[in-house]
Structures are given as structure tokens and as C-alpha cells.
Amino acid sequence: MKKTIIKIALMAMAAFVAPTTMNAQLSDILNAIKGSSSTASTVTDIVGNLLGSGKVSEASLKGTWEYTEPCIAFESDDVLSKIGGSVASSKIEDKFNSALTKAGIKPGNVTITFNTDKTFSMTVGKKTLSGTFDVNGSELNLTFKTTRKTVKTNVKISLGTLQIAMNADKMLEIVSTIATKASAYSSQMSAISSLLGNYKGMYLGMKFQKK
């Protein structure tokens, strides 16, 4: 089983280079193992990021997490649709990464800490923001003290990685709140939002690693 999963992962990465041929081959393999729900779930996580669907506890969030990369998350568990949208999502992810970088959000420069008293603090460079949070299943609500606005997000923790995803307008709201640089990121985010409108079930996300 592990060999099959590794083979699928390698083929999925290769699909970015030669999508037509590799996607056809990958589809054949997926069809061959379609009967195993656990394997299908693993394959889906390899091909594309899924929105969280399981329960995340406050205890599992506790601690400091460091931002590592942006991501595009999918709400659907249709593996084949993830493969079909891989090239499009990769392009959007590149644009998203560019917008975040201009806003001062880049690996090693951003951390978020969740405390046991349901407060959180987010540091971007030398800027620190704080607020409160609550989590219900896979829904994480962040209320920033400065704006008093609550942003509803989807949260998932898998293999030591924290993924926080949301629709484009909510991401723009968060980026506008935590940005350290005044730049053209706002117009870039608006353009990304328009792109996402062409692909149903795709969301913007950020990934963090536990420090």
C-alpha cells in the first residue's frame, strides 16, 4: 500500500510538468484502488489540499505555529477534480504567494500562538496582533482585538501541519489586518478572488508548522 501511495505522489508531482499523459495514468491507478476508502482519502491529500472535516480540539491548537507556505484548499473529495484543477490551482497559489510576500507575510516572518484561555497572538515581523478564538469541529473563528471583527475559517491539523483556509474575501480581511507593508497586495487579492470565482470549491489557505 505504501509503495502505491508513494508512486501516486510522484506521478501527481510529475503531472505539473506533463499533465495530459500523467493525469490519464494517475486516473487509471486511482480507479484500480477506488474500493479502498482509506487509501482514496490519502490519495486526495497527496493530490490537493482538502478543507478540514474532522474535529480539531483547543488542546491540539495550543502552542506557537510558524507560517511556512500558502495553499489552495478544496472542499470536494472528488480526487479526479483535484487532478484536473491542479494546474489552475498552482497558478493561483503563485499569485497568492506573491500577494502575501508583498504584504510582509512570508516563511519565518509570521507566527500564531494559541493559548489555553482562548486568546491568540499573531506576530508578523515586529508587528503583534492579539484576539480571541473559538473552535467548533473544523471551524475556527478568530476575533481580532484591533478591529473587533470575527473571521470564520476552516482548520485542519495533519502530520504536524496546521492549515487555516477561508474564502478569498475573508483572506483579504485577514491580510489587511496583519499586513506590515502598504503595497499593491489588495488589488492582487481582488484579482485572485475573481480567479477563484471560476473554480468552484477552491479556497485560500495558509500552512503552519509547530515550533
Q: Model pTM greater than 0.75?
A: no
**Cα–Cα distance for residue pair 92/18, rounded to 1 Å:** 19
* pLDDT at 147 > cutoff 70: yes
Mean pLDDT of 124-130: 93
| Structural contact between residues 196 and 156, judged by C-beta atoms closer than 8 angstroms | no
48-52, 60-64, 207-211: range with lowest mean pLDDT: 48-52
pLDDT, tens only, 64-112: 999 999 998 888 656 435 545 566 677 788 889 998 998 889 999 999 9
What amino acid is encoded at 153 in this protein?
A: T
H/E element holding 96?
helix 86-102
* pLDDT at 31 > cutoff 50: no
Average pLDDT taken over every residue of the chain: 76
* pLDDT for residue 39: 40
pLDDT, tens only, 151-204: 999 999 998 999 999 988 889 888 888 887 766 677 787 788 877 777 777 889
Do the strands 139-144 and 150-158 form a parallel or antiparallel pair, or are they unpaired? antiparallel
**Cα–Cα distance for residue pair 22/8, rounded to 1 Å:** 10
